[in-house]
Amino acid sequence: MSLNLPIRLRLTALYSLVLALSFVVFFWISDIGFRRSIETTVNDASLTDLQIVQRLLAAGLLQGSGSVPNELSRIARLWPNGALFEVTDAAGNWLFRSPPFVHSSSPLPSPQNQTVLFFTTNLDNLQYRIALQRVNISGHLFEIHAAVPTEPFDQALDHFRLIEKECFPLLVLLASLLGYWLSGRSLAPVTRIMATVQSITAQNLGRRLELPKAHDELRQLTETLNAMLDRIEHSFHRITQFTADASHDFRTPIAIIRTTSEIALRRPRTHPEYREALSRILKTSIETSELLENLLTLARADAGVAALDMRILDLAASVRRAQDRALALSVEKPLQFTAQLPPAPVWVNANSVAIDRLLLILIDNAVKYTPAGGRCAIELSHDCGEAHIAIRDTGIGVSPSDLDRIFERFTRADVARSRETPGAGLGLAIARWITEVHGGTIAAESHLGLGSVFHVRLPAAQDT
């Protein structure tokens, strides 16, 4: 039930509970301290009275033992604060007894070895604290009982406890109201954060939360939310751009297929004309299927479901297969293609199909953008625990402004577009994903009109 309450009420309840327990502990400790202070005070008072009686006995003995009872009676009439005392000699004869001692039916304990003993009892229905001691004065043994009333102190303690009972509910109520106000002040920044977050939509993703001045947890929360909004905005823009680019790249082949079909059906055609139209539709369909397959590959990669089966394989064998495919790709365009491989195998933990696709993308890219008569080369080396693949070409190159983003989706250099080369700009994005999923890196160097070099570095496995 309490879990459904607002945080402010829960904080107030917790704050009030803690303060209430604190008050209880404080009052309990105060009560103990008060009682111990009273006990110490009355003990000191009764001990002082006992010492006064001792001095009176000593003075009376100097005048003669017969004058001791008279002297005690005279002093008892002048005794302050309602204090009482009684004195007995070694034979048990009472030299003096205050009336309340005479009427008391409660026996008193007997002190031993001249040690002061404190005892609490009732005399005439009033509570007294009694100091008892056996003393030796000038060779005479006496037992002295000096009593001090505790009633004033008990009344003060009862009054203190009454104040505690009356103040406790008021203190808890005031503390609860203060806690409610403080929790509201503490949660005010959270309320502002919630209001700002609720106002952020797809139309104003660039808006950010205002950072609090204090470097506390709320500032950390605000910075975390702003960082999350940055990621959301970046992802949203990527998705928007991805959707727009995908729509654009799908629109062209679909339009070609539709236009070709409509023209072919407007009037009867000859067999060669139908064949030419169907060939064009087939070619466009193949390009569209490849585009769709690339989009699905990247979508699975984004969703984290495109797990690859990794095994130890010789990277040199993959490079040889890539070389054969490169020779097939360059049939229509005379290019000089070379490969440089190390004498020993280069072992990596990788997926063979994915590595073949990575190399095919890079080689196809080199062949596509290298003019006839140019050169392409693939080099494999092994150094410092890494397998290094370098694919070089003498093609048209990439401008420095485009080089930093050629691995993004649907990104193609302007020069390449002007040459009307086929493709949707997804190949290098897939190549980067394949490299990263293998724990490697991919980078490019390029100069306009001089060619490009793509470097792929993969962690090498132990030799097998």
> SS in 3 state form for 367-387?
HHCCCCCCEEEEEEEEECCEE
Helices and strands, number each (H, E), in the chain: 11, 12
Instruction: Return the CA Rg of the chain.
Output: 51
CA distance 42 to 50: 12
Catalogue all structural domains in the chain, each as residue range(s) with its CATH number: 2-157 (3.30.450), 217-303 (1.10.287.130), 311-459 (3.30.565.10)
Please report where in the chains the tokens 């193609």 appear, as a residue: 412
User: Is there a contact between 128 and 121 (Cβ–Cβ < 8 Å)?
Assistant: yes
pLDDT at 454: 92
Assign 1 a pLDDT band (cuts: 50, 70, 90).
very low
Q: What percent of the chain has pLDDT over 90?
A: 5
Strands 347-350 and 126-137: unpaired
pLDDT at 304: 60
Q: 460, 345, 335, 344: which is closest to 392 by C-alpha?
A: 335
pLDDT digits (tens, 9 = 90+) for 380-418: 998 878 899 999 999 888 888 777 778 876 665 554 444
| Angle of the 68-77 helix axis to the 7-63 helix axis, nearest 10 | 140
pLDDT at 79: 63
CA distance 149 to 81: 8
Which residue type does 138 have?
S
Output 182 or 299, whichever has higher pLDDT. 182
- Whole-prediction pTM value? 0.50
pLDDT digits (tens, 9 = 90+) for 116-139: 888 888 887 788 888 888 888 888
Average pLDDT, the chain: 80
Which one-letter DSSP state was computed for residue 105?
-
- Characterize 401-428 residue by residue with b for buried, 16 or more Cβ atoms within 10 angstroms of its Cβ, and e for exposed: ebbeebbebbbbbebbeeeeeebbbbbb
pLDDT at 260: 84
Q: Within 339-463, where are the H helices?
A: 352-368, 400-403, 414-418, 427-437
- For CA atoms 196, 199, 202, 203, the dihedral sign is negative
- CB-based contacts of 316: which residues, under 8 Å, 6+ apart? 341, 342, 345, 346, 380
pLDDT at 462: 67
Does 278 score more than 80 pLDDT?
yes
Assign 286 a pLDDT band (cuts: 50, 70, 90).
confident
Please provide residue 400's backbone torsions phi and psi, each rounded to the nearest 5 degrees: -55, -35
